[in-house]
Amino acid sequence: MQMYLKHFNLSEEPFSATPDTRFYCGSTKTQTLFAEMIVAINQADGFIRVIGDAGSGKTLQCRKLLKALRSHKKRYKVIHIPHSRLSEDGLYLAILQELKLRPIEGKNLRESLVTHLQEINKQNSNPVLIFDEGQSIPNDTLEALIKLIDNSDEGNKLLRVALFSMPLEHSQQELLINREIADRTTLTRELQALDGKEVKTYILTRLTKAGYQQDPLFSPEALDLIAKLSQGVPRLINLLAQKSIINAFYADLNQVQAHQVRLAAATIDSALLDQLDYKPSWFNRLRGRTTAT
C-alpha cells in the first residue's frame, strides 16, 4: 500500500485514472443519461450516441452500460469493441468473435454475420454493439455498420448500437457518412460537466468508496478550488484531488488545504494530453486559471 494511503487510512486509491464502475458517482445528469440509454437500447431500432470531451467520463459510462447489459445474459448478446479502428472485414470478425461464433461455410463474413444475427433475434435475444472511441471508426467501416444496422427482421433491427465518442471536428461532421449515422440515431446525448455541488459530492463519494471514514479530508476552500479549476471535468478532478492528497501527505497534514490544490494544479503534466489525437479545450483554460489564482 502506498504510504499516503496508509497516512489517510484509505484502503485503495480513490482517484485512480483507470475507469472503475465501483467508483461510479451518479449525478442527476448521469442517472438520467443511464436511464435514457437503457430505454433507447430496448427500442427495436435502438441506436444511441454519447458524446463527450476527453476526460468527461465516457469510458466509465460505457462500462456501466456494459455491466448492466451483461447482467441479463439471456436478454442481451453484448458485443464490446473498445478499439474502433477496424476495416469492414475486421468489424465483422470482431462481432463474430465477441459472439463466439464462426463464419458459415459458403458465405462471406457479412452474410455469415447477418445469418447469425437473425438466429439470435429468433431466440428473443437482443444483440447490442457497443463502441468505445467511436470517433476513430474509419468511414468505410461506418458505411458497413450502416448497412448492417439497416437489416431488419419483422420490423426489428438485427443489431442495436451504442456509440461513445469525442466531438467531431466541423469538417468531419459535414461528411455524408456522419449525416447518415445521425439520421439513424434514436438518442444523442452530450456529457455535461459537473457543477460545483456535484464536484464536491463526486470527491466525497469516491473517498467513502475508498474506505475513508474520518473528518473531512478536503477543507471547504480546497473543494471550492478543485471545482473551480477542474471546471467539472472528471479526469481533471481526479488529477487535482490525487496530487493534492499526495502534497498534503508530504506536508504531514491531516487535511488538504487550498495551497495543496494550487501546487497540484501547477504541476499537472500536459504530456498526458499530448498522447491524445484530440486535444480537449479545458487544459488551456486550466492553465490560464492556475496562473491567475
CA atoms within 13 A on the CB side of 52: 25
DSSP string, 226-261: HHHHHTT-HHHHHHHHHHHHHHHHHTT-SSB-HHHH
Cα gap 131→254, rounded to integer Å: 43
CA 151, CA 146: separation in Å to the nearest integer? 9
Q: Which amino acid is at 82?
A: P
In CATH, which superfamily holds the domain spanning 28-190?
P-loop containing nucleotide triphosphate hydrolases (3.40.50.300)
Quote the pLDDT of residue 273: 45
Cell of 255: 487535511
Closest CA to 127 of 37, 41, 68, 49: 41
| Nearest to 134, CA basis, from 248, 233, 231, 49 | 49
Tell me the pLDDT of the chain (293 aa) as tens digits: 478 898 899 999 999 888 888 888 877 788 889 999 999 999 888 999 999 988 888 999 999 999 999 999 999 999 999 888 899 999 999 999 999 999 999 999 999 999 999 999 889 899 999 998 888 889 899 899 988 888 876 667 889 999 999 887 655 666 767 788 888 899 999 998 899 999 999 999 999 999 999 899 999 999 999 999 998 999 999 999 999 999 999 999 999 999 999 999 888 754 444 444 444 554 455 555 544 44
Taking CA atoms, 269 is separated from 186, 260, 292, in Å, by 39, 16, 18
Could you state, in order of their start, the residue ranges of all structural domains in the chain?
3-21+195-292, 28-190
For 289, residues 6+ apart whose C-beta sits below 8 A from its C-beta are: 228, 229, 265
Burial of 247 (0-12, 13-18, 19+ CB in 10 A): buried
Given the candidates 1.10.8, 3.30.70, 1.20.1050, 1.20.140, the CATH classification of the domain at 3-21+195-292 is: 1.10.8
Q: What is the pTM of this model?
A: 0.81
